[in-house]
Structure 1
Amino acid sequence: MATPEAILLLHGFGGHPLQTALLARRLRAKGFDVANIGYPSWRWPIDRVLDHLHRRLTASPVSAAKTLHCVGHSMGGLMLRAYIARHRPENLGRVVMLGTPNDGSEIADLLYRLRLHQPILNHAGALLRTRRDAATEARFGAIDYPVGVIAGDRPMIGALPNHIFRAPNDGKVSVAATHVAGQSDHLTLPVAHTAMIYSQPVADQIAHFLREGCFKRPSQPHLQQMGKAL
C-alpha cells in the first residue's frame, strides 16, 4: 500500500542531507514519509543535478505515494522549481520553500562584483544571482502548483547583512527576494537563513501548509515568544 503523503526534501547550496536530517525527522513524526536527498550543488551543472535528482526520486519508495509534496531550503527551492518544470510528478502535491532566493541573493551579487563567484559559487552562481540570464530563468518554469514561502528576518550577524541588504533579511537572502509570482502564501518568521531548518516552529508551519494549503498565522504574543525561543 502506497504512503498517503510523502515529501521530497532538498538542502541548500553547499549543504548535505545531514543538515536537513532533523527537519526530515520532525516531518516524519508528523506522518509524512520523507526522502531527504543530497546533490552536489557546487560541482555539478544544473542539468546533471536534475538528472541525479530524478534517478534518486524514481528509485525511492516516496515516488509511489498518493501525494508527493516538496520542501526545499534556500537553493533547494530553486532546484525544486527546475525539477518540477522538467520532471513534474503526476502525484505532485504542495511545495514549501525556506529562504529560497527566488529573485536572487544580494550576497551572490556581491561575490560577482568581487569576482569571487567562480571559486565560491561555481555552477550555482547563475542560479543564485539576482540578474539571471534568460536561459537560466526559463529553467524554473511557471508556478502553477501550490507554493508556500517561509522567509526569515533575523540574521545571525547584525551589521554586515544590514549593510549589504538595507532591508529585512535572514543574513543571506532578503525577505523581498523570497517572493515568487504565483505563490499561494508567504510567511516571515524571526529566524536566520541557516537556522530555519533546525527550527521546530518552521517544521510546524511546513506541515500546516502541506496539509491545509496555507500557513498558520500566529498571534503577536506567540510570535514574540517564538523569537525568544529560537
Structure 2
Amino acid sequence: MTTPPTECVILLHGLGGHRWLMQPLARRIHKAGYQVQLWGYRSFLSDTATHAQHFASWLSQLALNATCTRIHIVAHSLGSIVTRLALLHHVPQNPRLAELIGRTVMICPPNHGSHAARRLTPWVGWLSRPLVELSDSPHSLVRSLPEDLALRHAIGIIRASRDYVVSPGSTELQGVTQYTTIPATHSSVLFSRRTAEQTLHLLSTGKFLPNS
C-alpha cells in the first residue's frame, strides 16, 4: 500500500505517555509512504484544553509547509480528546488548516470517559488535571464535549479487546461508523501490526478492514 509522499500523518500519545510509544506505529505508517511526525506534550502538567490549543497551534505551523497537502491524525487515549478539542474549537478558525485536515484514527479513545480515571481521581487527581477531566463521571469535561465531530471529519475508532482503562462503549462517538477491535490491552495495542494495518487502511480508504 503506497500513498503520495505529500500526505502527512501526525501521531500523539495519551496520558502519561511519550512520543517513543508511538514510534513502532509511526515506522509502519512511514514505510507505507506517508510523511510522519510525532507530537509530544507533557500530558500531566496542563489541562486538556491547553494541550488542544498547543496542538492546534503546532498544526497551524505545519499547514504553512507547502509539502503537506493533507494532514491525517492518529491519536491514542487522551490524545484523541486533545484532537477532538482542537478540531472542535481551534481548527475551524484557520481555513487553511481546516481544508488540509484529512482522516483521524482514534485508538482507545475515552470519548465517554474512563472508569479507571474515575477510580484514580480521589487518590491522585490532584497530580493531573487531565485525569479528572477523563473521568466517566457525569459532569466531567469529556462527558460535556459536543458529539457531532464526525459530521465534519472522517473518523475511525480502534478498540482493544482487553482494555481495562476504557470500556468499549466509552469509545463510541456519534456519527462514527468505522470501528474495529484489536486483541490487545490499552497500551499494547500501539505495538500491534494489526493496529498499523487497520490504521493504514482507514487512512487510505476511509474504512477499516473487516475483522477476521
Name the TM-score, length of structure 2 as normaliser.
Answer: 0.85
Matched residue type, 1:147: I
* Whole-Å separation in 1 of the counterparts to 2:88 and 2:65: 17
* Whole-Å separation in 2 of the counterparts to 1:18 and 1:132: 33
Distance 1:134 1:218, change over 3 A: closer
**Could you tell me the percent identity over the aligned residues?**
29
* Whole-Å separation in 1 of the counterparts to 2:182 and 2:194: 9
Question: Secondary structure of 1:13's match?
Answer: coil
Is residue 182 of structure 2 the alignment partner of residue 189 of structure 1? Answer: yes
Matched residue type, 1:133: H
* Whole-Å separation in 1 of the counterparts to 2:65 and 2:197: 23
Name the residue aligned to 2:53: 51
Distance 1:205 1:57, change over 3 A: same
* Whole-Å separation in 2 of the counterparts to 1:185 and 1:151: 11
Is residue 180 of structure 2 the alignment partner of residue 205 of structure 1? Answer: no
Q: 1:98 aligns with which of 83, 107, 115?
A: 107
What is the CA deviation profile of residues 179-200 of structure 1, one whole-angstrom value per residue up to 9, with x for unaligned ones?
Answer: 1111131111211110011111
* Whole-Å separation in 2 of the counterparts to 1:136 and 1:206: 24
* Whole-Å separation in 2 of the counterparts to 1:3 and 1:105: 36
* Whole-Å separation in 1 of the counterparts to 2:107 and 2:11: 11
Structure 1 contact 81–141 (Cα < 8 Å) conserved: no
Distance 1:137 1:175, change over 3 A: closer
Matched residue type, 1:181: Q
Structure 1 contact 73–100 (Cα < 8 Å) conserved: yes
- Report deviation, 1:117: 3.8
Distance 1:186 1:218, change over 3 A: closer
* Whole-Å separation in 1 of the counterparts to 2:110 and 2:39: 20
Question: Secondary structure of 1:110's match?
Answer: helix
Name the TM-score, length of structure 1 as normaliser.
Answer: 0.79
Name the residue aligned to 1:76: 79
* Whole-Å separation in 1 of the counterparts to 2:58 and 2:141: 25
Unaligned ranges ≥5, structure 1: 155-169, 220-230
What is the CA deviation profile of residues 51-85 of structure 1, one whole-angstrom value per residue up to 9, with x for unaligned ones?
Answer: 32133323337864222111100111111111111
* Whole-Å separation in 1 of the counterparts to 2:210 and 2:113: 26
- Report deviation, 1:141: 5.7
* Whole-Å separation in 2 of the counterparts to 1:136 and 1:104: 6
Name the residue aligned to 1:14: 16
Distance 1:139 1:39, change over 3 A: farther
Name the residue aligned to 1:216: 209
Matched residue type, 2:129: H
Name the residue aligned to 1:118: 125
Matched residue type, 1:217: P
The number of residues matched between the two structures is: 200
Structure 2 contact 5–33 (Cα < 8 Å) conserved: no
Question: Secondary structure of 2:99's match?
Answer: coil
Is residue 152 of structure 2 the alignment partner of residue 150 of structure 1? Answer: no
- Report deviation, 1:13: 0.4
Question: Secondary structure of 1:59's match?
Answer: helix
- Report deviation, 1:173: 1.1
Unaligned ranges ≥5, structure 2: 92-97
Matched residue type, 2:168: V
Matched residue type, 2:74: V
The root-mean-square deviation of aligned C-alpha atoms, in Å, is 2.2
Name the residue aligned to 1:157: none
Larger Rg: 1
- Report deviation, 1:135: 6.1
